[in-house]
Amino acid sequence: MSIDLAAIGGSGLYQFPGLEHPERHSVETPFGPASGDIVCGDFHGRRIAFLARHGESHTLPPHRVNYRANLWALHHLGARRVIGVNAVGGIRDDMGPRVMVVPDQIVDYTHGRFTSFCDVEGAEVKHIDFSEPYTASLRAALLAAATRAGTPAIDGGCYGATQGPRLETRAEIIRMRRDGCDLVGMTGMPEAVLARELDIEYACLALVANFAAGCGDEEEISIEEIFAHLAAATASVPPILAELVSAN
């Protein structure tokens, strides 16, 4: 199967509107079940695949997502370029609610997750270069697509990946700011490194749902406001990806 692009949807993106002739694929993987069926369809003259990272009913918390199965299944179906759509909190002042960011670096604070396809008996151990965790050419294409779609994204930034599902304390965000993080999310890793192990081109489209703890004017983060911001930002994702596939 030839797939021009695959998108992994985060919180707020559970179906992909605009797919024509959709086909659902349940893929058996050596690593167990993926988050759900992969939906493939025609989109602006190209074939794309979509997978809801948390399941179509948001039943999987970040630390329970089977990232290995998800990436393996997409690769098995022929995906060689993947956009990870991630809901995040903003740490940097210009990364407030409804802003889109295409980060260029990541810091991994997660624990207890399967972070490599090498984590099975008999597998070849690969020491991959991860100096630049996102594919530069795909990042550039994604940024250009966002501009053409009328929703420019911020170029660059460091994504801090936390364990979840709880939000972070103010002290944790202070530490992350000291570490150089501009965004905080719960699903950026190990997705990015698993894509690299499979030689999949990978970039992140981060949708800012809220300011992180202590970074905005609010004393308490409202989950209702988070999902309202996500709904608004998510509406821009299909037009951006339409520009991306149309140009490549």
Query: pLDDT tens digits for 10-56?
Result: 777 778 888 889 999 999 999 999 999 999 999 998 999 999 999 98
21 known ligand binder: no
211 known ligand binder: yes
Q: Are 65 and 187 in contact (CB under 8 A)?
A: yes
76 known ligand binder: no
More confident residue, 124 or 111: 111
What gap in Å lies between CA 155 and CA 206, rounded to an integer? 11
206 known ligand binder: no
Q: What is the mean pLDDT of residues 77-85?
A: 96
Amino acid (1-letter code) at residue 107: V
11 known ligand binder: yes
Q: Which band of pLDDT confidence, cut at 50, 70 and 90, is reported for residue 161? A: very high
Which pLDDT value is given to residue 83? 98
Which pLDDT value is given to residue 1? 60
HEC readout, 134-160? CCHHHHHHHHHHHHHCCCCCEECCEEE
Which pLDDT value is given to residue 223? 81
* Topology, domain 5-247: Rossmann fold (3.40.50)
Residue 231 has pLDDT above 70, yes or no: yes
The domains of the chain are located at 5-247
Is 227 in a helix, a strand, or coil?
A: helix
110 known ligand binder: no
pLDDT tens digits for range 180-211: 999 999 999 999 999 999 999 999 999 999 99
Residue 96 has pLDDT above 90, yes or no: yes
Size (the chain), residues: 248
66 known ligand binder: no
What gap in Å lies between CA 230 and CA 102, rounded to an integer? 16
Residue 63 has pLDDT above 90, yes or no: yes
Which pLDDT value is given to residue 248? 66
Residue written as tokens 């990978």?
Answer: 202
Q: What is the mean pLDDT of residues 161-176?
A: 96
Residue 57 has pLDDT above 90, yes or no: no
186 known ligand binder: yes
